[in-house]
Amino acid sequence: MTVIKDTADLGQETSIATPGKKVLLAAPRGYCAGVDRAVIAVEKALDHYGSPVYVRKQIVHNKHVVSSLEKRGAIFVNEVDEVPEGSVLVFSAHGVSPAVVAAAEARKLNTIDATCPLVTKVHREVQRFASEDYDILLIGHEGHEEVEGTAGEAPDVVQIIDKDESIANARVRDPKKLIWLSQTTLSVDETMETVVKLRQKYPDLQNPPSDDICYATQNRQVAIKKVGAASDLVLVVGSANSSNTVRLVEVALEAGAKASYRIDFASEIKDEWFAGVETVGVSSGASVPEELVDEVLVYLAERGYGDVRTVQTAEEDVQFSLPAELRKELKAAGNDVSNKTKRS
């Protein structure tokens, strides 16, 4: 496999399966540290407590991951009132509002908070600026679980900014005490376009104290820009409700790909997509296990796209500790508290 650091290097000659046909494999791609932590938390909870372990919403937005955990005994619910009192409940990587936490406490549930630490950081920012009596404009997708959880930290002062209409409808008490924050999985470019529009209305709008869009989201978008610029067709593996996956499709097209499709599985690929295609780009959302990408590469190899070149734009070595509640329980039982598990 050839590793390419920049699209300027894509003209190099290598041995290929079918003349002219190649695959550009984006790196980084797939699982981020927050997703890995959340999935492992459910797996270790199942190992420790036994089945069932309940999970509020999808632990991460991926069909395959959810299905795999269901087979191991996880039960996914929409709200905490569906969980029997005293049961184990895992909060998903997207985070929850204080109201959800209170509802779980009222039912005496043994909760494990698998919220991504980078999402938790945005929650803390909301708490801080709400305590300082700021109005907060939260850029994100209305109805997304992460946005609901973040806005729920201070619903009286948070306004969700999704489309242009929400900018026009925004109302603030003091334009000089106004800050924007964002959902962690947005497109960097689109978010900044929204900030520009907001600042036209509110010139004194303040920036977050640090970047809210997570490192993994940014890295995957940078990589697919490189791939998209040099590809006829880009395939992005991930589920439809995964915000960062959907953004990757859009970024690939904006970067110059002639076509880009989101797929959950290799079986969804259509042969007609390959008419006149020499270069296929491949990436995956931050909640996608690598085995699904491998299946896509096998599909492509069987059709002559056996020359796979990795386009790498960043190295990732981030790892988050397991949720504190779970670490405490595992340690007390003498079990492994590392962020590792034996996958089945």
Burial class (CB in 10 A: 0-12, 13-18, 19+), 303: middle
Rounded distance between C-alpha atoms, residue 43 and residue 65, angstroms: 11
User: Facing residues of 250 across strands?
Assistant: none
In the residue annotation, 146 being an active-site residue is answered as yes
98 close to 120: Cβ distance less than 8 angstroms: no
2 close to 196: Cβ distance less than 8 angstroms: no
Question: Between the CA of residue 99 and those of 12, 17, 54, 104, 117, what are the distances in Å?
Answer: 56, 56, 18, 9, 19
Rounded distance between C-alpha atoms, residue 149 and residue 95, angstroms: 6
User: Facing residues of 139 across strands?
Assistant: 161, 182
Rounded distance between C-alpha atoms, residue 30 and residue 245, angstroms: 10
Q: Which of 43, 125, 145, 146 is catalytic?
A: 146
Q: DSSP of 191-260, one letter per residue?
A: HHHHHHHHHHH-TTPBPPSS--S-HHHHHHHHHHHHHHHT-SEEEEES-TT-HHHHHHHHHHHHHT-SEE
DSSP 180: E
Structure tokens at 182: 């964002």
The SS3 assignment for 19 reads: coil
Q: DSSP of 101-139, one letter per residue?
A: HHHHHHTT-EEEE---HHHHHHHHHHHHHHHTT-EEEEE
316 close to 225: Cβ distance less than 8 angstroms: no
User: Which are the catalytic amino acids?
Assistant: 146
